[in-house]
Amino acid sequence: MSGQSTIRTLQPQGWKPARGYSNGIVAEGRTVWLGGQIGWNGDQLFETDDFVEQVRQTLANIVAILAEAGGRPEHIVRLTWFITDKKAYVSRLAEVGAAYRSVMGKHFPTMSVVQVVALIEDRAKVEIEATAVLPD
């Protein structure tokens, strides 16, 4: 993978900067779509019911799958989060941010967060889909 992907953040002039995400990204390269990942380990076992730790594990799962395609966190252009408890997300946002940075670094792709009634796995508190653009 000697090529470089071109990823550029879109920030309209005069807009207040987004914090923890990007409003838009334009990218060129090979596209990788990752299915929704949850906070269990590679053996499909939950090690915790803590919201923040499930976020950390979910992001680690995304990074591990992306690595199979030769990608890294900075190649991710979009994350869609499905959470079961908006209050848990908002009240622990600083911890969520710290968990995010510990796995993803300071790369902030476009992102949406949606509260859902439930996820298919009863113990799952978060599910995240990812899209990445890798070098040609």
pLDDT tens digit sequence for 3-60: 555 888 898 999 998 888 988 989 999 999 999 999 999 999 999 999 999 999 999 9
**34 close to 98: Cβ distance less than 8 angstroms:** no
Q: Which of 116, 127, 132 is CA-nearest to residue 71?
A: 132
**82 has pLDDT over 60:** yes
Measuring CA to CA, how many Å separate 62 from each of 10, 86, 94, 125, 131? 24, 22, 21, 16, 10
Task: List, in order of start, the domains of the chain with CATH numbers.
Answer: 6-134 (3.30.1330.40)
Q: Which of 1, 2, 5 is CA-nearest to residue 131?
A: 5
- Cα–Cα distance, 89 to 30 (Å, whole number): 32
Render pLDDT for 101-119 as a digit per residue (tens, 0 to 9). 999 999 999 999 999 999 9
Amino acid occupying residue 124? A
Measuring CA to CA, how many Å separate 87 from each of 43, 58, 125? 29, 19, 12
**1 has pLDDT over 50:** no
